[in-house]
Amino acid sequence: MSASPLEFLQALVGSPKPPRAAATLILLRDGPQGVEVLLTRRSGGAGFMAGATVFPGGKVDTGDAGLGPAPSASAHVDAARLAQAVREMDPTDESSAVPAAAAFFGAAVRELCEEAGVVLARDQETGASLSAERARAIADAVAAERRGHKVPADAFARALQAAGAVADLEGVVPCAWWLTPKVEPVRFDTLFFAAALPEGQDAKVDGVEGVAAGFYRPEAALADHRVSGPIALPPPTLHTLERLVALEAALPAPGGAMAMCQALAAAGVGERLLPHFVALTLAGPTLALPDDPLHPAALPGDQGRLNRFVLRGGRFDRVQRDARL
Nearest to 132 by CA among 56, 27, 204, 210: 204
Angle (deg, nearest 10), helices 155-162 and 97-116: 90
Single-letter residue type at 209: E
> Distance (Å, rounded) from C-alpha 311 to C-alpha 313?
7
Give the other-Cβ count within 10 Å of 276's Cβ: 20
119 close to 135: Cβ distance less than 8 angstroms? yes
Three-class SS of residue 59? strand
Q: Where are the alpha helices (DSSP H) in the chain?
A: 5-13, 79-89, 97-116, 132-143, 155-162, 218-226, 235-250, 257-267
Domain boundaries, the chain: 18-273, 275-325
Residues 2 and 5: their CA atoms lie apart, in Å, by: 9
* CB 289 within 8 Å of CB 14: no
Helices first, then strands: H and E counts in the chain: 8, 13
CA 54/CA 134 separation, integer angstroms: 27
Which phi and psi angles does 91 have, rounded to 5°?
Answer: -60, -20
Output the pLDDT for position 4. Answer: 41
pLDDT tens digit at each of 325 positions of the chain: 333 444 444 444 456 667 888 999 999 999 999 999 999 998 765 555 668 899 999 999 888 989 988 777 555 566 556 656 655 655 555 544 545 678 889 999 999 999 999 999 999 999 999 999 999 999 999 999 998 888 999 999 999 999 999 999 988 999 999 999 988 888 888 999 999 999 999 998 877 777 889 999 999 999 999 999 999 999 999 999 999 999 999 999 889 999 999 999 888 888 889 999 998 888 889 999 999 999 999 998 888 889 999 999 889 999 988 766 5
The rounded Cα 143 to chain-centroid distance in angstroms is 21
Q: What is the pLDDT of residue 2?
A: 38
**One-letter amino acid identity for 107?**
A
- In this structure, the number of other CB atoms found within 10 A of the CB of residue 92 comes to 6
pLDDT at 238: 96
Are 57 and 111 contacting, i.e. CB atoms less than 8 angstroms apart? yes
Q: What is the DSSP letter of 29?
A: E
Burial class (CB in 10 A: 0-12, 13-18, 19+), 32: exposed
Can you give the pLDDT at residue 15?
61
Task: Compute φ and ψ for 80, nearest 5 degrees.
Answer: -65, -40
Question: Which neighbouring-strand residues pair with 59?
Answer: 22
How far is Cα 265 from Cα 203, in angstroms, rounded to an integer? 23
Q: Contact at 8 Å (CB) between 66 and 93? A: no
- Give pLDDT, residue 184: 86
18-273 belongs to which CATH class?
A: alpha beta
Three-state secondary-structure class, residue 33: coil
CB 121 within 8 A of CB 168: yes
SS3 (DSSP) at 63 = helix
Q: Please tell me the distance from the alpha carbon of residue 86 to that of residue 93, in angstroms, as a whole number.
A: 7
The pTM for the full model equals 0.88
